[in-house]
Each structure stands twice: as structure tokens, then as C-alpha cells.
Amino acid sequence: MQQATRISGVGAYLPERRLTNADLAQMVETSDDWIVERSGIRERRIAADNESSSTMGAEAARRALTSAALEPADIDIVIAGTCTPDGMFPATATRIQDALGISDAAAFDVNAACTGFLVALSTASQFVESGNAHRALVVGTETLSRIVDWTDRATCVLFGDGAGAVVVEAAPDGRPGAVKSFLLRSDGSHAGLLYAHGPASPNPNGDPLQALIVMDGRNIFRQAVTAMSGAARQAITDAGITIDDIALCIPHQANLRILKATARNVGLPEERVYVNLDRYGNTSSATIPIALTEAATEGRLSPGDHVLLVAFGGGLSWGAMVMEWSGIDTLGRAATADLRSTAASS
């Protein structure tokens, strides 16, 4: 039996350590002006030694549960979007599940790089819509600082660490359903434009493989703008609305020039595009849930608003979703808690 869904809780966590552009200028040949001009980023957060994607994800998830006024036992499925898991296996979602004390629930990861949260949210929504789950916990969490090449000024300035989470559940009778449309796409022929090796990567020459981010920035920029613009337009059309109906766009926070070019292509005024890239950098699958939490907490979203989510990442992967915001009954500062906490020690 199909049932409408809604997002009933949001939460975000970012580690306490700030790495500013001035700090980076002491590490590689760069400057604040150079970084801001090319990316729009001014600082990013870096996980402590005792933090990981699972500890940060668990803290964001705790805040989302508090926001939704739910207990861990209320959750039927945990899905984590991440490309920086704690290890090859078990899934980071299972570690989050254990940290929260959630038992007798399904838990698994999805890896679609920066599109990971959209894939996880789309998957969770379909579980709930079909009646195969009552409530789902969806987490986007990344520890990208551990796979960044800190000698490469073209990439090390872009990435940061953090986590965001949402609770998806069946909408009460009379409330609008959240997901109006979604689009997910990938093109593996361009995988070489953005990737990181891993411990199981092919290695015919027996040379040491560094599990570090490799990116062709120029080509990624072109691909990202084209893909995100097309996905956004298609999702809006599929939802049966127009660009004028979009109250707020929450895009993947990769590069300010990409965000501006995409908004211009779609015909969306910049004031209706949420940006926190300057404070956190690119946290991959965590960028959208962190931004969604901030936007909700700041009062940028009202019940009935149409919200556009759009992302692009390695794969190459991309996607978009249109939601109708139904509001969160118990939303408060606990969702963000100034976006700091002792996640690793909790």
C-alpha cells in the first residue's frame, strides 16, 4: 500500500577544528584570495583523531531523532551515504546503528560519492512509501580529510568533514508527502575524472596505491553544471511545478561558481539558493543534509514550500529531488547545537 512520506527530523554535526585558508597557506602554495576566488570556501572542519564517519554520523542522527521526538527503537532502517566509511566492512550504517542502540533494523551504506545522500534519501523514501518500513534514518557522513592529498593545492583546499541526518516517516493523514519527484543518474565512462583508490583496487604493477582524491577540476566543473542543471529542470517538470514554485534550492556544496552557474542555467535567483560552502567546504554526501538542517533551523523553510535538492559527484553521478516541506514539530537548536559536539566520546 502506497503511503505519503515526510521528513520529521533533521540533525547535523561538524567537528570543532576549523582549518582556515590562512592555515592552508602555511601548508601549500596558496592564499585566501586564490581559494575564495576559485571556490568560495573560507574554512572547513577537520575531524579529530578519535572521530570517524560513524561517530559523526551517529551524533547527527541523535540530533535528528531528538528533532523528530523519536527513540532509537522507533527506527526500522538505517541508510548511510558515505564514500569515506570507517572500513571496508561492516557498513558505516551498522556502526551508527550500534552507537544509537537501534536493534532489529536493517542497516546498509550507499556510495554514490557526493550524490550519496540523495540516493540514500530516495531509497529510504521508497521503503516507507511501500510500507516495508515505518521510519527510516538517513545519514550523510564523510571524513574526507583522511583521503585528501595535502600537497595538492588544487584539491586539498576544497574538502572538509561533517555529517547530517534526517528521519523519514509516513506522513499523517492530511499532511503533504515530502517527495514529489526524484531523478538519479550516473555515467561510469567519466569515472577517471574524480576518484580515489582503495585497499582492493586493481594493482597489476604491485606499486603502492595511495587512497587519495584525484580530480580533473576543469572537466568536473563543466560536467557538474550541465548535469545538475538538467537534473534540476527535469525534477521540477516531473513534480508538475515550475521554477517559480521553488522556495529554496539546497544544492551539493562543491564550488560557488558551480552553484551560481547552475542557478543561472535553471533560472533560479541566487537568493533562493542556500549556500554554506564558505564555512564548511565540500563534505560530499554530508553537504545537503547539513544545509537542510541549517535552513530548517534558521526558519528558511515553511510548511508547503517546494524544496529542490540537487547533487553531482564521482561516478560520475548526479541527481535531483523536489520535496514539499511539511514542517518539523519539535525543531529546535538541538538539531544543530551550534554544529559542534563531543561526538567521538558520546
Options 21, 252, 255, 306, the catalytic residue: 252
Please spell the DSSP secondary structure of 212-228, one letter per residue. Answer: -EEE-HHHHHHHHHHHH
Protein fold of 1-340: Peroxisomal Thiolase; Chain A, domain 1 (3.40.47)
Options 114, 156, 249, 306, the catalytic residue: 114
132 catalytic? Reply is no
pLDDT of residue 327: 86
- For the four alpha carbons of 221, 292, 245 and 322, in that order, the dihedral sign comes to positive
Q: Is 346 helix (H, G, I), strand (E, B) or coil?
A: coil
pLDDT of residue 345: 40
First-to-last alpha carbon distance for the chain, in angstroms, is 39
pLDDT of residue 346: 37
Domain boundary assignment for the chain: 1-340
276 catalytic? Reply is no
pLDDT of residue 205: 86
Could you say which residues of the chain have pLDDT below 70?
Answer: 1, 174-176, 330-346
Options 21, 111, 255, 282, the catalytic residue: 282
Q: Rounded distance, CA 284 to CA 162, Å?
A: 9
The pTM for the full model equals 0.95
190 catalytic? Reply is no
At which residue does the C-alpha cell 524544496 appear?
Answer: 307
pLDDT of residue 332: 55
Q: Rounded distance, CA 114 to CA 275, Å?
A: 16
Q: Rounded distance, CA 298 to CA 252, Å?
A: 18
